[in-house]
Amino acid sequence: MKRHAAGRSVSLGEAASELLRRALRAQCPTADVNGLRVFDPGPASALVRAEAIERLLDEELR
């Protein structure tokens, strides 16, 4: 988030608002599973492993 804000020369709050507005407008593929609407990226989507998420979180916290 900090990099996103710095790269656009905006405050952290403005960057967060921009990203949230974009996320709310985005069309997301979903499926109904046992009466619950869930995210369904489809078979062509890449799998994100826990190691990659941990690495990104570590980078963000630096």
Per-residue pLDDT tens over the stretch 9-37: 989 999 999 999 998 898 888 999 999 99
Q: What are phi and psi of 14, to 5 degrees?
A: -65, -40
Q: Are 38 and 31 in contact (CB under 8 A)?
A: yes
Longest C-alpha distance within the chain, in Å? Answer: 45
* Domain, as residue range, for 27: 2-61
The model carries a pTM of 0.44
The helix (run of H) or strand (run of E) holding residue 39 is strand 36-39
* Total structural domains within the chain: 1
| Residues in contact with 29: Cβ distance below 8 Å, sequence separation at least 6, in sequence order | 39, 40, 41, 42
